[in-house]
Structure 1
Amino acid sequence: MTKTGSILLSALAGATALLLTATTPASANPNAINPFPVLNGSNGLPNLTGRTQAVFQVTGMASPNNTQSYNVLGTDLGIMWDNGSGEMLTAFGDTAGLGFPNLLAGSVWAWRSNILVRSHTQDPANGIFFDSVVRDVFGQARDLIPSPKIPFIEISRIPTAGIAVNGVQYMSLMSVHSWDDVGQWTTNYSGLAASGDNGETWAELPETRRPNEGANANFQMNAFMKDGGYVYEYGTRSGRNRAAFVARVRANDIANIAEYEYWDGERWKKDDVNAAAPIMFGVGELSVMYNQYLGQYVALTTDPFNSVVMRRAPSPSGPWSDPEVLIDTRELPSAYAPSIFPYQTGRDLYFLTTVHSQYNVILMRTTL
C-alpha cells in the first residue's frame, strides 16, 4: 500500500530504453544483471542484527519462486491465509511488471492491483514456495478484481485481508481514491470479494462496502482472524499511524454487515459501528493471530517510527500490550505491512514484510 503510482511514473523516462536493451534470460544471475532498479528484488536479503532475521526472498528476480516468469518484478503486501483445506493462499497488492499500458498514458509498466498465488508450504524454515498463480491468457499474473486506475476516481483496489469460510474465500479490499503524503492515502470504501473456486475467479459483494465516512471510515484497512466460531475484523482508517478498532461476526454471516458486532471497550454491540472504541493506537497495516506458544493473541504492524512491532493480548479485544520492536526502523527503514504466516511454528514466528527499497516481499523469522 505504498505509492506505486509514483514509483511507476518515476521509472517512465528510462523504461522504454530498458525494454529495448535489457534481457533477463532464465540462466542469468539476477544479482549481476540489474536492468530494473528497485523493482526486481535483486539486492539480496537485508542483514538484520536484532531479534528478527530475513530468511527468504519471496518475490522478485532473486527469489527461487522466479516470479518474473509470470511478469511480477515488484510487488507488496503478501497477505496469507489457509484456504480451509491445508493450502495457503497469498494475495499481493500493487504489482509491477513489463507490458502494455493499463494505467498511465505512455507507461510501459503492467500494473496489477491484486494478484494471488498458492502454496503448500507449512514449514517455512527453508522458504515459501509457490505451486500456482492465478494467470491471464498470456500466462501472466492477473488482477483478481480489476481497477480503472484513474487518479481521484480509483487509483487502485488493494487487498488487506483474506479468510476462508465454508470453502469460500473472502478478501477485504480497499478502493484507493488518491495517494497523499508519504504513508497516507484516501479511500473511497472497503468491501469484500468472494471466490468459490479457490481464488481463481472473484466476485465483488457490493452490499459489504463500507464507505470512507462516519465510523465506517475506521474499517477501511482490515485484518481477519478466526476464533471461537467468529471472524474478527480489525480495522483502521486509510493510511498509517492510526487507531485500530475491532468487530466480529459469526463466520456464516461474514457477508452480512448488519450481523457485525463492535467492541465498545466493555461489551459487543450489534450493528452499531459508531460504538466501536479504539483498541490500540499508532498502527499501520495489521495482521492478527492466536499464538499457541505464547498462549496469547499477537498483532503485527508498524509503529509511528516505521519499526515493525508486535503487541500481545489475552483476548481478541485486548487489552493490547505496548509494542515490542521486531525490526527497528534504523535497521530497515523501508519495511512495512508485516503479515503473519498462518500455520503455527512453535517458538518461531514467521511473517512476510515488504521492503520498499527493492519493492518486493521478504520472509522474516522472530524467535519468541
Structure 2
Amino acid sequence: MTRRLSALAGVSAAVVFLAAGLGAAHANPNDINPIPVLNGTMGLPQLRGATQAIYQATGMNSPNRTDQSNVIGTDLGIMWDDGRGQMLTVYGDTAGLGVPNLLAGSLWAWRSNVIFRSAPGDPGAGIHYSSFVDNPLPSPKIPGIEVSFIPTAGVSVNGVQYLSLMSVHEWQADGHWTTNFATLAVSGDDGQTWAQLPTTRRANEDGFEKFQQNAFLKAGGYVYRYGTPAGRGNPGFVSRAKEADVANIDAYEYWDGKDWKPGDAKVAAPVVGDVAELSVQWNDYLHQYVMMTTDGSNSVVLRTAPNPEGPWSEPRQLIDSRDLPTQYAPMIYPYQTGRDLYFLLTIHNQYNVVLMRTPL
C-alpha cells in the first residue's frame, strides 16, 4: 500500500499538468483526473432541483474505497440482479496504477471492465460492495485494432450472466468513437469468469451498426435488447428474443415501427432519437417502462412508455448539463424503489461514479 501511495503522489503531479488542456474524453489516455481535490472536486456535487447526488459509489472518496482494489477512477456502473440474491455492477474503462500498463503513453494502468457484487438493499443508504472481479474480459489496448472492450449491458437468465460488450476500434472527438463489433460474453459462476460467445458477434454492418451499444430489459419471457450506433447523439432501436434464446443471434426479432420482424436487423426502425448510453426498466410506481439517457445537449433525461417498444414519451429533463457539464451514462438501479428513482451517473471531471436520486 505504501508503494501504491508513493506512485499515486508521483502520478498526481503529472495528471495536474497533463489534464489541464486536454480535449476529448478517452481520446487521450491521460485526459482524466480521479484524484479528489486535485481534480477540483471534493464531496458530492450539489445540484439545483429535485435530483440529487446521495452517495459516492467509486473512487478514493467512496465509502467502498474502490481504490483499494486499484479502481481509482472508472465509469458506467451497469447494474442487474444476478438471479442468485445479489446485484452485479460492471464498470467500464478503469484507471489504476502499476501493471499491466498496456496503453502507449498512458500514466494509468487501464482495464476495460471490472465487476463489484453487493446485496440488494435500500439504495438510499448507499450501495455497499462485498466482492470484486478484476478485468475479467481484457483488451489488447492497441489503437486502430482494439483500444478497449467495454460493457454496455448485463442480464441474468436462469442464473447465468450475460454481458454485451463493444470492441472499440478508435476514440474520436467528444462523444464519438468507432467499433469493430458488439458481442455477448457469458458467465456460469456469478461473474467470476467469463467467456466470449463468438457466434453472437455483430459486426458494424448489415443493420447491426444499430446495435453496437445495448441495454437489456426482461419482460414477458423476452429479453429486449435496445441498441444504438457507436457513440452518442444517435437514434435508438429495439430487438427481442425469448429468454432461452438470448445467445442465439438468429432468434432475435426487430421492431420495424409497426411490428416485430424476425431475423433482419436492417428493418429495425428508431424508437427514440438523440440518445447516448441507454438504461431501461419497468417501474411499478408509474406503471410504465422508463428509459434514461443523456440528450444532445448532455442533459440527463427520462422517457416513459406503456410497452418496451414504445411509444416513448418526450424526454423529461432531470439534470441540466449546465449544472453538471461532464455527466454521462445514467444507469437505473435494478430494483423497485417506490416514488424515488435511483441511478448511477458518471462524472468525467472526477472520473468516478455517483449514486443519484430523483422523485418520479
TM-score by length of 1: 0.89
- CA change 1:42–1:213 in 2 (3 A) is same
Query: Which of 135, 144, 147 is residue 155 of structure 1 equivalent to?
Result: 147
Deviations 1:105-143 (A, max 9, x none): 454421100000000032100111101101xxxxxxx21
RMSD over equivalenced CA pairs, Å: 1.7
Question: Does 1:227 pair with 2:219?
Answer: yes
Q: 1:9 to 1:337 in 2, by over 3 A?
A: closer
CA deviation after TM superposition for structure 1 residue 274, in Å: 1.2
Q: 1:58 to 1:270 in 2, by over 3 A?
A: same
The equivalent position to 1:324 in structure 2, one of 312, 316, 328, is 316
Q: CA deviation at 1:4?
A: 3.1
Contact 2:27-2:173 at 8 Å conserved across structures: no
Deviations 1:244-291 (A, max 9, x none): 000000000000010000001111011111111000000000000000
Conservation of the 8 A alpha-carbon contact between 2:29 and 2:105: no
2:275 and 2:294 in contact (8 A); partners too: yes
Matched with 2:90 is: 91
Q: Bigger CA drift: 172-181 or 41-50? A: 41-50
Distance across 2 between alignment mates of 1:228 and 1:10:
42
Q: Classify 1:313/1:340 alpha carbon distance in 2 versus 1 (closer, same or farther; 3 Å).
A: same
**1:235 alignment partner, SS class:** strand
- 1:118 maps to 117
Counterpart CA distance in 2 for 1:285 and 1:100 is 29
SS at the partner of 2:96?
strand
SS across alignment from 2:68? helix
Partner in structure 1 of residue 344 of structure 2: 352
User: Which residue number in structure 2 is paired with residue 14 of structure 1?
Assistant: none
- CA shift for structure 1 position 5: 5.3
Segments of 4+ moved more than 4 angstroms: none
- Aligned to 2:244, the other structure's residue is in SS state helix
Q: Is the contact between residue 32 and residue 349 of structure 2 (CA under 8 Å) also seen in structure 1? A: no
TM superposition score normalised by structure 2: 0.91
Question: 1 CA distance for matches of 2:254 and 2:301?
Answer: 25
Q: The residue matched to 2:293 in structure 1 has which SS?
A: strand
Which residue in the other structure is 1:104 paired with? 103
- Whether 2:28 is the aligned partner of 1:6: answer yes
Q: Secondary structure at the match of 2:28?
A: helix
After superposition, the Cα gap between the structure-2 partners of 1:217 and 1:84, relative to the gap in structure 1 and judged at 3 Å, is same
Query: Which residues of structure 2 form unaligned runs of 5+?
Result: 1-23
- Which runs of 5 or more structure 1 residues have no equivalent in the other structure? 12-29, 135-141
Structure 2 counterpart of 1:310, one-letter code: L
Secondary structure of the corresponding residue to residue 129 of structure 2 = coil
In structure 1, C-alpha distance between the alignment counterparts of 2:275 and 2:76, rounded to whole Å: 16
**2:223 is aligned with what amino acid?**
V
Cα distance, 1:3 vs. partner? 3.2
1:82 is matched with which residue? 81
State the 1:8 CA deviation.
2.2
CA distance in 1, matches of 2:148, 2:104: 16
Mapped contact 2:32–2:351 kept (Cα < 8 A): no
Which residue number corresponds to residue 191 of structure 2? 199
Say if 1:333 and 1:45 are closer, same or farther in 2 by CA, change over 3 A.
same
Query: What do the CA deviations read for 1:153-193 (whole angstroms, capped 9, x no partner)?
Result: 00000000000011110000000000011110000000000
2:296 partner letter: P
Secondary structure at the aligned position of 1:274 is classed as: helix
What is the rounded CA distance, in whole Å, between the counterparts of 2:27 and 2:231 in structure 1? 16
TM-fit CA distance, 1:305 = 0.3
Tell me what 2:209 maps to: 217
1:150 aligned partner, one-letter code = I
Match of 1:361 in 2: 353
Q: 95-104 or 196-205: which moved more? A: 95-104
Deviations 1:52-107 (A, max 9, x none): 00000000100000011110110000000000022100000000011124223454
